[in-house]
Structure 1
């Protein structure tokens, strides 16, 4: 299982264009407000995400600045898209969120005028994602991606004039030409490439020492996901693959992407790093992966990421476990 692919929120799109309904939801005493600062760090409490309640938190921003996420609902969704009602694995606080129909919003607040209380702190979501329980982590990812999109679309791409928030945060409209734009998600493929029982791992020069992962890259205009997978692997490693098989996808709010996971068998195993995007790449056997992890010669991608999941899935298929090196 990986992060950001579960939800307890009904996005409730039908009320987004109803100001009276949104005002009523924002004034609900059960309302939950996810706060980010101007650097897109999320407000955390010692036990996880801090959700401000405007009725009891004098520092919460005015509701006119909130973006609507939805209302809690009595089920979560697995990576395979199956609704499940046995939520024993969800901590009790989350279970309350799921059952009480609470409205959820998000907002950005100026950290310089915000007093941190009760051991709360601003945290980088990428660094703390493994410590945030699901399904709250999925709501936080939704909030972060939506807020980031608004930050980057303050002005109209058609005429250059200022845009304003519409549809409770799910549209922006130009104040001059009236053009409407919608939140975007940038699709990227990520793929575990195998060859005769080996897995292809690679690293970029900017990554922490010994950190390796599977290959990934953005989908270009006019491409299918499968075509993007074939192109990215060839461009980055010089390896040709055939018949990429879809595995799963993961919303990735860094800043606002979705990772589409594949696996594929390589037609050749000669690695050629011509485009300088990768610093190093190599094929690894299952037992070799374990020995390199044990020796500290190789570090896994972040626990909870689909890149980690794809490596874990391959290892499990070959009878080895990497769970010892997981750090939830």
Structure 2
């Protein structure tokens, strides 16, 4: 299963407007405070892939600007963990010898839950605040509100709320073959499945058909929904599908893709073993879609990558 799919976080939305209860949570001995810098890198330990609980840091901003993410361990009310996040300027924050700033995307395969999902959630909200510091209607500054889940413009008397950008991601198959492609900006030999943003007035299924056509000139049908993954890079949700191509005659129509190829399970196995082809990061839905297809053809990617 892909990351950011943790179901044990109660987002506790009814508490966001209750300043008294929020204050109690902020002073709870059980709280966990995630710290991000201006690049939205997260404060993590140098001796493992887990975040530092920053509530004891001397140079953390006022609790007034902490974003409330919710609670874990909710079945045990006495020991429930309230989660918060906040942002600091790295040049005003002194790291100790066991602390480092890490890009969440680079450690996706290593981090575990509940850290992965809470860090993704916090990162996405902090990005939203950074991009919406001013009202999109009148241009005035707006203000942090509802424990970080709303911004309010006093000039317009208007509230704005966090948004996420939906994108489809699709494993395109034809008989026993899978279509893989790469962009020129990716690491050398890295391939993945096709993906693209959903346009206004478009269903997810329509987006699958359009994106595949735009990128490869292939017509697809039998679009099957597989699952979704929040993707805070910076603020998307990936809607996973499988679709069947009507033929194999692809053509790269724009500059977005550098190369594409069809692979059989045997060809994929050989190319991964020989390091001619690199798969997406484990923990991503792109990897999971490839893994799902491989498993349906009796190819165990976990075993293959472990052996590698």
- TM-score, length-normalised on structure 1? 0.90
Q: Distance in 1 between matches of 2:73 and 2:51?
A: 20
Whether the 8 Å contact between 2:49 and 2:107 is mirrored in structure 1 is no
Whether the 8 Å contact between 1:12 and 1:70 is mirrored in structure 2 is yes
**Cα offset for 1:41?**
0.4
Structure 1 counterpart of 2:38: 38
SS in 2 for 1:9: coil
SS in 2 for 1:301: coil
SS in 1 for 2:268: helix
**Cα offset for 1:144?**
0.3
Whether the 8 Å contact between 2:51 and 2:115 is mirrored in structure 1 is no
Structure 1 counterpart of 2:145: 166
Structure 2 counterpart of 1:219: 198
Structure 1 counterpart of 2:49: 48
**Cα offset for 1:99?**
8.0
The count of residues paired between Structure 1 and Structure 2 equals 305
Cα shift readout 1:74-114 (whole Å, capped 9, x = no counterpart): 47xxxxxxxxxxxxxxxxxxxx9x98212110000111111
Out of 261, 265, 274, the position equivalent to 1:286 is 265
SS in 2 for 1:22: helix
Whether the 8 Å contact between 1:31 and 1:53 is mirrored in structure 2 is no
Structure 2 counterpart of 1:272: 251
Q: How does 1:313-324 map to 2 (within 5 A)?
A: 313-323=292-302, 324=304
Structure 1 counterpart of 2:123: 144
SS in 2 for 1:48: coil
Structure 2 counterpart of 1:93: none
Whether the 8 Å contact between 2:65 and 2:148 is mirrored in structure 1 is no
**Cα offset for 1:116?**
1.0
SS in 2 for 1:147: helix
Q: Distance in 1 between matches of 2:162 and 2:156?
A: 19
SS in 1 for 2:230: strand
Q: How does 1:78-227 map to 2 (within 5 A)?
A: 100-227=79-206
Whether the 8 Å contact between 2:35 and 2:54 is mirrored in structure 1 is no
Change (3 A) 1:51 1:119: closer
Whether the 8 Å contact between 2:10 and 2:74 is mirrored in structure 1 is no
Whether the 8 Å contact between 2:225 and 2:240 is mirrored in structure 1 is yes
- For structure 2, the 5+ residue unaligned runs are none
**Cα offset for 1:325?**
2.0
Whether the 8 Å contact between 1:192 and 1:262 is mirrored in structure 2 is yes
Q: Distance in 1 between matches of 2:62 and 2:306?
A: 41
Q: How does 1:241-260 map to 2 (within 5 A)?
A: 241-260=220-239
Cα shift readout 1:276-311 (whole Å, capped 9, x = no counterpart): 211111110110000001111100001100000000
Q: Distance in 2 between matches of 1:277 and 1:113?
A: 39
**Cα offset for 1:118?**
4.2
Q: Distance in 2 between matches of 1:276 and 1:47?
A: 39
Tell me if 1:63 matches 2:53: no
**Cα offset for 1:132?**
1.0
Structure 2 counterpart of 1:239: 218
Whether the 8 Å contact between 1:7 and 1:136 is mirrored in structure 2 is no
SS in 2 for 1:49: coil
**Cα offset for 1:178?**
1.6
Whether the 8 Å contact between 1:72 and 1:99 is mirrored in structure 2 is no
